[in-house]
Amino acid sequence: MDASKSKAPVFIKEMCNIEEVEDSCACFQVKIAGEQPIEVKWCDEEGALDENDVRIDMEEDEANGVYTLTITDLRMDDSGVYTCEAKNKHGKTISEATIGIEPMPDQARHLCDKVAHME
């Protein structure tokens, strides 16, 4: 089936697993084809992500079918499985991936602390 002609949402580009260091940022980007309007919901293992969380940025480029989730200032407890659910009146589909977060090395943490105190 040609995904560009699909009425139900179809992921053209799925989420990919991410490995990052704490205090950095992670970005998931998907591309979805299907009849608009498409409702996109980003979730972690606890449920829907809070759009009002200052560390969370969700962008939608509906014209091109590109949807992006960015999480800044990563914490160790941000590790886990994330999903993107795309839904319209014809159906729904889900993509999932994991974020693995490594602790910041002590040398880097010390340098960041020194810079923060200089400001």
- Verdict on whether the full-model pTM lies above 0.85: no
First to last CA, the chain: 56
Q: For the chain, which residues make up each domain, given as ranges? A: 3-118
- In percent, the amount of the chain with pLDDT more than 90 equals 81
SS3 of residue 108 by DSSP? helix
- Phi, psi (5° rounding) for residue 85? -105, 125
Q: Could you give the angle at the alpha carbon of 50 between the alpha carbons of 47 and 53, nearest 5°?
A: 140
For residue 71, the tally of other CB atoms under 10 A from its CB is 23
Mean pLDDT score, 74-85 = 97
Task: Describe the strand order of the beta sheet including 39-44 as a list of residue ranges.
Answer: 18-21, 91-102, 80-88, 39-44, 47-48
Q: Is the pLDDT of residue 15 over 60?
A: yes
- At residue 1, does pLDDT exceed 60? no
Tokens describing residue 33: 């084809």
- CATH node for 3-118: 2.60.40.10
Structure token pair of residue 106: 């002590």
What average pLDDT does the chain have? 89
Question: Are the C-beta atoms of 74 and 104 separated by less than 8 Å?
Answer: no
* Residue 104, pLDDT score: 82
For residues 101-118, give the mean pLDDT.
65
Element counts in the chain: helices (H) and strands (E): 1, 9
